[in-house]
Structure 1
């Protein structure tokens, strides 16, 4: 019972007051967290640097996974554009089907060409306006292009949606999104880039399998809707590209124009070591695309292996490349000179291609794809070398030039193998040629050691010349002082 004269205690008022005073705190914390994402970060090898790696992982997961799965919708597109029944045999020698097959293949080639060849332009945009808005815009274009591809009925429409729109969007994602990572790291730079690139291999495993299942159960259009819809996650991931903090003393008084940035990107090739390496890597991309574009068709149409088994071949290579990428990233951070590790990975893939005519069973092809996966794992390391050659400040520019050069050679790898098949009736010569090129690329990379010696000799000579000039200037001053005193 309540006693008279004593005030009644109300807990409701206290709760309301507490909530009233706690709400601004929550709001201020929320604003603080949003502000922390927008503001530049000073973290190196820790903190937000790894958040950027996670965002890059998601981007490569989606981008590489979707584009590498073009083979899933390739055959249905060929049959659609040729006007034949969906039950038609894709391995038939029908002249119309063969003609449309080549044209349809250029849809994927066009997308690849845009993704890599527009690298310098994408790097210029990111350097001018920042990586986050460029990758954000590219993610929207990419997702939209893939979704619209599912609505196409003519081959020219697919060229515009998948080849041009998605390709341009992909270029705005790849070069800035990957090339910027070295600026966030010093000690763990190789591991960070390898982790981000592993996303592509995992994307191939997951997205190609899911798209294949959707295409088999429903149709290729729903596979495109799925790929475009899940690619929208890249829009969210792009928001976590928190810019690097640049001291005021290091900031330029006037921001360079896009034209000046593109010219600066091309000037990165003035570094002899980088120029040698980037053109050799571009040449090796020719070999990669021979395998990526034609291993399915060789397995299904030449060896007579079922479509289901053939579709899993790239899965084995992707699984191996994931392991190779992580191990190479860890080992690379403990090496002062990383290029021999890259040479080894490329050489292994070349050996696998050279013996391609001996592979006659599905088990043989699995062994070949394991060797190809070791070779394919070098892609995770590829992004680290531009910053080694030209410095961290020019890493994005250098990576964009690497992407451009790779696109030129890679775009013609698939068609060249197709021409060889039309002429010989076999893919053996094309795959052997790809293996010889890979081996030559691996061996020619040893010229980097000679360039290092030349660079050291030139630096020594320039220092010696500077020392002699200083000594001569000092002697002249001493003589002048002596004559003035006399």
Structure 2
């Protein structure tokens, strides 16, 4: 919120200009973004597992797909619900400490699952531990880095950091599917745990919490911003921001569209595409490779979406993204077959370009409407994304158990995406970023 004469404290000092950087020197913000990219890849490694392990866990423990879906759904839901609290914890303890702990928790949950023997252990290790860990490393983490370190190129940086999750899928899906196929699911789970642990030293040694830590202004600004004091009462602040945002219409529209986004990506395709393709006779390794291809084009689509978000109306971009996604899902039941054919490849490329292209315009709309609280608001919007994904991860498994097919799930998700496209168009315009933050773009 912009400060007025009535709200400016008596001891307020305006931000002081800093000397321009020497020509040719790369701003430290880009190193922080690069470390964030690597960290998100490591945290996203676990996301490649659930779709690969549904059938092996079903065969070994005789757990229903609905039961496994509960654990997967809880992982996704908690990863979303932890996001807004993690954004507040970043303000209280710093990005570096929170991320190091989160990566360790992900590794612990993945390792402990190797020795599980009951369904409640799956729910505890995957649902609770991994869910909380990935939630602290979710898109709210990207929003915090972007908001603190960048004034210019925010849409592009958001797109790049969001694409890191797809890069993790690209790296780990083929590897984990090969491990599962040849050595079983336990070595794959250990691999994911080791990936999270390897990232911890990079975070601790190279990540910095704020540009002021290294005496710099944010990238794209010549105005030095003092590092704010640690904010106590992270939980209270998070809930207060939710209370205030929930009184506004744009919050519910953004939360609703993002819930549908999560339902049609993490909940649907990431969790159920491999077993659905396997139902039609496609080998698991081939289906997993198609998901990895989605990751390739997701990187391209998300970075391109960030570039477009810097230049075009975010509401119209969202409407286009959701509309095209819904249309593609309507055709998917007709494309599934024992082998990979050109129409299926077209779907994979198309869906990959649209996978999380919705993130940069959604985050931009949060900044327009909620200013300094936008990272926490986006955390709550992300929570709705993960709740939507959790519901479909569970209901998709139930639908498969009851009907023997995923066809109804694909069609209903396509209809929801069409609804999201219409919701995006009625979001009102927000204020310009400079009015909300008080920081001028250089």
Which band: TM-score by shorter chain? Answer: 0.7 to 0.9
Q: Deviations over 1:322-366 (max 9, x none)?
A: 11112222232233x233223222221111112234325332333
In the alignment, does 2:143 pair up with 1:179?
A: yes
**Does the CA contact (< 8 Å) of 1:195 and 1:326 recur in 2?**
yes
**Structure 1 CA distance, aligned partners of 2:422 and 2:26?**
37
Alpha-carbon distance in structure 1 between the residues aligned to 2:69 and 2:297 = 27
Which sections of structure 2, spanning at least 5 residues, go unmatched?
1-17, 213-223, 433-442
- The 5-angstrom pairing of residues 201-350 of structure 1 reads 201-239=166-204, 240-245=206-211, 251=228, 255-266=231-242, 267-288=244-265, 289-301=267-279, 303-335=280-312, 337-350=313-326
Q: 3-state DSSP class of the match of 1:210?
A: helix
Do the aligned partners of residues 242 and 193 (structure 1) sit closer, same or farther apart at CA in structure 2, a change above 3 Å counting? same
Determine which structure has greater relative contact order: mean sequence separation of CA pairs < 8 Å that are 6+ residues apart, divided by chain length. Answer: 2
Say if 1:401 and 1:328 are closer, same or farther in 2 by CA, change over 3 A: same
Q: RMSD between aligned alpha carbons? A: 2.9
CA–CA separation in structure 2 for the residues paired with 1:129 and 1:308: 42
Residues 32 and 208 in structure 2, CA contact (< 8 A), matched pair in contact too: yes
Please give the residue correspondences for 1:72-91 in structure 2 after superposition, counting only pairs within 5 Å: 72-82=52-62
Change (3 A) 1:106 1:382: farther
Query: Using a 3 Å threshold, how does the CA distance of structure 1 residues 189 and 323 change in structure 2: closer, same or farther?
Result: same
Residues of 2 paired with 1:50 and 1:43: CA distance? 17
Deviations 1:281-316 (A, max 9, x none): 113322222232222222111x22223322222122
CA contact (8 A) 2:111 2:189 kept: yes
Which structure would you say has the larger Rg? 1
Give the alignment of 1:142-161 within 5 angstroms. 142-161=106-125
Map of 1:428 onto structure 2: 407
Unaligned runs of at least 5 residues, structure 1 = 1-40, 83-98, 457-486
- Inter-CA distance 447–422: structure 2 relative to 1 (3 Å threshold): same
Q: Give the deviation of 1:80 after TM superposition.
A: 2.0
* 1:109 Cα deviation from its structure 2 partner: 1.7
3-state SS of 1:316 partner: helix
Partner of 2:3: none
Instruction: Tell me, yes or no, if the aligned pair for 2:142 and 2:158 is still in contact at 8 Å.
Output: yes
Cα distance in 1 for partners of 2:185, 2:147 equals 38
Equivalent position of 1:15 in the other structure? none
Task: Indicate conservation of the 8 Å contact 1:65/1:205, yes or no.
Answer: no
The CA distance in 1 between the partners of 2:360 and 2:36, in whole Å, is 15
CA contact (8 A) 1:386 1:398 kept: no
Alpha-carbon distance in structure 2 between the residues aligned to 1:424 and 1:176:
37
- Do the aligned residues in 2 keep the contact of 1:179 with 1:383 (CA within 8 Å)? no
CA positional deviation for 1:260: 2.6
In structure 2, which of residues 357, 373, 382 is the aligned counterpart of residue 378 of structure 1? 357
Q: Is the CA contact 2:149–2:211 (under 8 Å) kept in the aligned structure 1?
A: no
Q: How far off its partner does 1:386 sit?
A: 5.0
Distance in 2, matches of 1:425 and 1:158, equals 24
- Gap change, CA 1:74 and 1:298, over 3 Å in 2: closer
Paired with 2:413 and 2:404, the residues of 1 have a C-alpha distance of 17
Cα deviation 1:9-59 (Å, max 9, x = unaligned): xxxxxxxxxxxxxxxxxxxxxxxxxxxxxxxx9999961211121122112
Match of 2:128 in 1: 164
The normalised TM-score by structure 1 is 0.74
2:102 equivalent among 134, 138, 141: 138
